[in-house]
Amino acid sequence: MSAHDRLALGTRSMNAALVVSALVSACAAQDVRVVNLIPPALSAERYHNGEPHLAVNPRNNQQIAVSASWTHDTFCSDDAVSVLFASNDEGVTWNAVCELSHTAASWPRDLTLAFSGDGTNLFAGYLVKLPPPPATPTAPWLWHAYFAATNNFLAPVPMTVLHTRANVDQPYLQAPTQDLQRALVIGVNDATMTGGTGSTACNSGAVYMIADALVPSTLAPFCISQRFTMGATPAVRTASHASGLTYAVFYRPLSPDPLRKDVIVVRRSTFTPGPFADLKDLPALPTLDPCTSRDGQIGYRVARCRPVPLGPDGDPWFGQERRVSSNLSIAVSPVSATTVYVAWADSIDDNHQTLHVRKSINAGATWSTDLITVPNATNPALAVDQDGTVGFLYQQVSGELLYSRWETRLELSDDDFRTRKSFELANTPALAPPYAWPTAAYAPYIGDYVHLTAVNRTFYGVFSASNDVAKVVFPYGATFQRTVVAGQLQDGLGGVVEPSLDPYFFSVKKPGPPTLYATPPE
Amino acid sequence: MTSILKFAGTGCLTLAMGCARAPAPPVTTTVAAAPPVVPVSALSVVVAAPDSVMLRIAKTTTLAFVGTLRARDSVTMPIIPAAPNIWVVHVDTVLLSPESVGRFRGTDVTVQTHDSTSLAVGGTAVYFTHGLIAGTSLYVEEVGRFPLTSPGDSAGIGKVYSRFFVADSANTDDKLRPYLVNAAAVVIGTVVQIDSATSADSAAWLAADEGEPQWRRATVQTSGYFRGDSATTSPVLRVLFPGTAPAALRAVPPLRGGDRRVFAVRPAASVVNATFRATSSSYPYAVLYAFDVLPAADSVRVFRLTR
């Protein structure tokens, strides 16, 4: 088999076979595609491609871009450009394109991607770590967020870096468009905010609202927490509706124990300047316990006083993955700007980490109880398609220690998860590759996030998992672009390549003709 | 020219440092220009002056190969738009390749050229390139090309590649030099002890910037030094090192007992979070970046760059 051949890996275990048979009736009508993104020419690749993100051109769903942390290599020029994965055939085939600009000293990480709403530009937000100025050579290196753009993501031309900001973490990018206005909405952990990462009301949780994404600008952070916050807000996730509403969700660390957190949703107009002040908690109740009372302040507390522990890197009891406060997702229905879903992780139950999904049908004014919970899981990602079907992607640990595996699963529901269609996209070993240098000592192991989005009636997503082809199971099959021969990764000329972590693209296409909304209905 | 290298004894210095026997006294030796620790690596012996053209080429080259021009204005992948000055080249021999690139000898690649007139179809050359797209094949941009008489023109290949080798080594020197010059000390020694990680270490990591690695502690028995003062060149050097890779940085791989290396150490305060330092006060130095730890075989190069 040559380097250009592809291998479709099918179901190869009794358990997986049972899963498939159970799903056949529910999923027969769906078209499921899973693709390992490493191209044939990089078949010798053995890097740690965790924490992937994805963007689908909303005006041309043939065009899809994927990023993954630590796709670092010297393939591109002079170490200052890295690859994005690009597809021009709706994810059937992928190329690694040298276009992500960074610095020679630092590889990009915490990457997120977004196409502008009009489909004309691909934006990337990511971190690089830059050295201190020469005058203070021993000062710590600082994270810098870069925001870059290209109007041809298929071409190997370095993206133009339009906006930067120092001392920030986890830029999370969206690019809504209205009346030809290309905006960027970026959730971020900005340590330069008033109070920085200290204990204050306006802590590091912020959102940058850039009115014209293609014009270099000074990034103005909007503080998103009006309550006293015990330390940093590491992850802020946003969801913008085409009608002009933007939601954000974040964890609020509590005093005196910052490992207990509220999950808070805020809202504002996307295109009208102003703070995230459009959403308040319910009026205060006559109790002093903030965990049971309401307070009437800005920001609805969807969950209160939840334990959200930090876990160590390489935790063998949790599939070598760590637990951090970035397991957040928020999605607004394209059908209605007032229908919003949030997902978060906490450890309120008797397992490593539980995922929760809740819903609001009144623009965040009130929220449901849990629609679904998933134990021993991480990386929640939500999306809603044009029919209002909600998709919920996550990765769940099953088995114990040496037998533990990551199950990557997509749930689709039209009735708030009272019934759902469940797609086990991948069942992969959690300890292969081992968390050991040099193949996989990077933290986090599979990454702190995955991504899911929907265009028309198709859900598109990306996740990272082991490529140990002797041990992986894909109940719906998977296409490996990289060379696989006789159950082994190979480099193209017969050399065996060690297992590592790869990004996987998937799409789940619902049946029926798409309904296109020129203007999303309200 | 002579230089003074001070060599410590092979024993531990004091009982307070955890040694079980009396230390051997430090030894001062006057030696010739090269240090006596001379397992010389291939890279270390380069002394020829690089030429400016090859320096520029080496700076941006990531793939080099001997190739035969198959076709002009042609491509190997549909993603590459057809355009003038794009060639399909058959790869006869790979000279330099990134780790991730599968073995591409014997395949056709697409080369974006900038000088389309100097080679006929069927002609052979050494191509210095960098990557543009990796798909079913490679799309690379040429940064330098040197014609050969045939794919088997080993004399021609050797002549060109030795120039490249000299230039590439000089570029590496330029990257390495700041790490050595700005280090608190540059020593050569052997890792004799690595402490087990503790639960307090995990707690310290949780309090740190997530970009930091999980730090570990190593004791290095030094046998000589290239830079430093008496505070940094004791026979036993205690250093912190990354037990995991900080994601965004080119970090040094974790140390292992018995490793004999050149260490360019920096004050721990410059890279290690305060919480971890508080539990590791007897470890005043750290190594973090890939160039902070080098093979012992590179000691001649280090010696040259630290003069």
Tokens representing residue A9 in the block: 């890996």
CB contact at 8 A, A52 and A447? yes
Distance to chain A for B19, nearest Cα, Å:
30
Q: What CA–CA distance (Å, rounded) separates A331 from A392? A: 10
Q: Worst-scoring range by mean pLDDT, A55-59, B14-18, B81-85?
A: B14-18
Burial class (CB in 10 A: 0-12, 13-18, 19+), B49: exposed
Q: What is the pLDDT of residues A216-272, one digit of tens each?
A: 888 878 888 888 888 777 799 999 998 889 999 999 999 888 889 999 999 999 888
Q: What is the pLDDT of residues A124-162, one digit of tens each?
A: 999 988 776 656 656 667 788 999 999 999 999 999 999
At B233, the pLDDT band (50, 70, 90 cuts) reads low
At B231, the pLDDT band (50, 70, 90 cuts) reads low
At A168, the pLDDT band (50, 70, 90 cuts) reads confident
More confident residue, A15 or B101: B101
Q: What is the mean pLDDT of residues A298-317?
A: 87
Q: Which of B57, B79, B198 to mutate to test the interface with A (most CBs of A within 10 A)?
A: B79
Interface contact B248-A109, CB threshold 8 A: yes
Q: What is the pLDDT of residues B101-140, one digit of tens each?
A: 877 899 999 999 987 677 899 999 999 999 999 999 999 9
In this structure, is the dihedral angle defined by the CA atoms of residues B133, B138, B141 and B144, taken in order, positive or negative? Answer: positive
- pTM of the prediction? 0.86
CB contact at 8 A, A145 and A124? no
Chain B residues within 8 A of A483 when measuring between CB atoms: 102
Q: Can you give the pLDDT at residue B232?
A: 66
Q: What is the pLDDT of residues A351-363, one digit of tens each?
A: 889 999 999 999 9
Tokens representing residue A186 in the block: 């970026």
- Pick from B59, B136, B246: CB nearest A4: B136
Interface contact A493-B79, CB threshold 8 A: no
Tokens representing residue B303 in the block: 């010696």
Q: Please, which residues have CB within 8 angstroms of residue B295's CB and are 6 or more apart in sequence?
A: B41, B261, B262
Which residues are B28's β-sheet partners? B6
Q: Which of B65, B133, B289 to mutate to test the interface with A (most CBs of A within 10 A)?
A: B133
Q: What is the pLDDT of residues A430-449, one digit of tens each?
A: 988 877 654 445 678 898 99
- Pick from B77, B137, B253: CB nearest A437: B253
Q: What CA–CA distance (Å, rounded) separates A452 from A161? A: 25
Interface contact B249-A106, CB threshold 8 A: yes
DSSP structural state of residue A427: E
Chain A residues within 8 A of B62 when measuring between CB atoms: 74-78
DSSP structural state of residue B199: H
Q: What is the pLDDT of residues B47-93, one digit of tens each?
A: 567 789 999 999 999 999 999 999 999 999 999 987 788 999 999 99
Indicate whether A378 pLDDT > 80: yes
Which residues are B89's β-sheet partners? B69, B109
Interface contact A46-B79, CB threshold 8 A: no
Which residues are A112's β-sheet partners? A125
